[in-house]
Every structure is written in C-alpha cells, then in structure tokens.
Amino acid sequence: MADPLFGITLSIVAFGIGTRIRKKTGSALANPLIIAMVLVMLVLVVFDIPLEAYEAGGSFITFFLPPVTTVLALSIYRQRKVLQAYLIPIGAGTLTGSIVAIASTIFLSRAFGLEEIVVRSLASKSVTAAVAVALTDRLGGIPALTIASTVITGMTGNILAPYLGKIFGVTDKVAHGVGIGTSSHALGTSRALKLGEIEGSMSSISISFSALWTTLILAFVF
C-alpha cells in the first residue's frame, strides 16, 4: 500500500464519484471535495489502511497545488477588457473584503481561545484552495484544516450568495460578483455564473485579486 499510485488513484476515483453525485443531484451541498474526503476516510477506516499509505500519493497531489495558482493569471488575461472597465471597483472591493475576512477570522479565532497554529491555518480560508494551502505551509499551519475551512467557506457562499444579496439590498451586478468571488472563491463563483454573465466575470476576476491581497496582508500580519 506504500505505492504512491494508491493515494493518487483513490483521490481521483473519490473525486470522480463526488463529481457524478453533484451532477446527478444538482445540489450545492453535494460538494465533490467533501464527498471525496468522506469516501477516502471511509476506505482508510473500513480497510484499516494506515494514513501514511495514503499520504504517499496524496502528498504528491498536494505538491502540484502551488503551480496551479498560475492559472489565475490566465483568468485575468482572458477578462482583461472587463478588468480595465472596472479596475477601481474590483481593486477596492477585493482589498476591503480581504482585510475584513482576515481580520474577522483572526479576531474570532483568538477570542474563542484557539491555538495559534489553528489561527494560522484558518487565516487564508477565503481564497482558492491552491493559494490557501501554499500560504498555510509558509505560515506553519495545518494544510488539511485549511482545505476543510476553505471548502466550508466556499460552500457557504455558494448557497447563501443569492439570498444575502437580496437581504442587504445589493442590486449592482459588479458589486455582487466582486463580493462573491472575494469571500467564497471558486465555489461561490460557480453560483455567480448562474446569476449572470457580469456577476460571473466579476467573481472570477476577484478570485485572483483576493489571492494577491491576502498573500500581501498575511505577509505583513504574520
């Protein structure tokens, strides 16, 4: 079981099953990442497989997360015309959102007496997983906890985004999209795309900007 192929294959199969379930149900709660994590844990527990056996391949997948962040630059390039038209709202909105997300997370974590390693693991929860894991590694946090909090944050945005917009009276499509992308990254963006083309574009671009701001802010804070 020490073969890296075991961990890699199990991860791919579990995620594939999660994706099929999501397509079948169409529910935001049926998140492929969460389903995959549950399936992997079940396999390891039921067949009494040591975690180290899975990590031999699982860590190999994690290794490629940081390079994946370069794809964010491609997203910005493809939507450069939209970016040029709304540069100031996007820049200001994502900066403000990133500051609030980080500040509230750190404040609440410490207020509830969480250990410093947990605080560092949760600090980057509002950016896309690839960036969040890379930041957590640098901060000395726990990547697994970061991924879990990132997924929960994204799912929350995916589910609540349309309703929160109505509750707070957000009628501007640009503002709505920026808010979704900044607070709930790719999972939230998938919902923004269903709300409209402008919301989807703004949310997609905001993922890249919030990742940049979060990296700079955390470098200053920690």
Phi and psi (nearest 5°) for 183?
-90, -25
Average pLDDT of the chain, as a whole number = 86
pLDDT per residue over 189-217, tens digit each?
878 888 888 888 888 889 889 999 999 99
Does this model's pTM top 0.85? My answer is: no
Q: Is the pLDDT of residue 75 over 70?
A: no
pLDDT per residue over 88-105, tens digit each?
989 999 999 999 999 999
Query: Considering only CA atoms, which of 123, 33, 121, 127 is closest in space to residue 72?
Result: 127
Cα separations (Å) of 151 from 74, 80, 88, 113? 23, 28, 29, 23
Query: Considering only CA atoms, which of 221, 220, 213 is closest in space to residue 178?
Result: 213
At 121, the amino acid letter reads: S
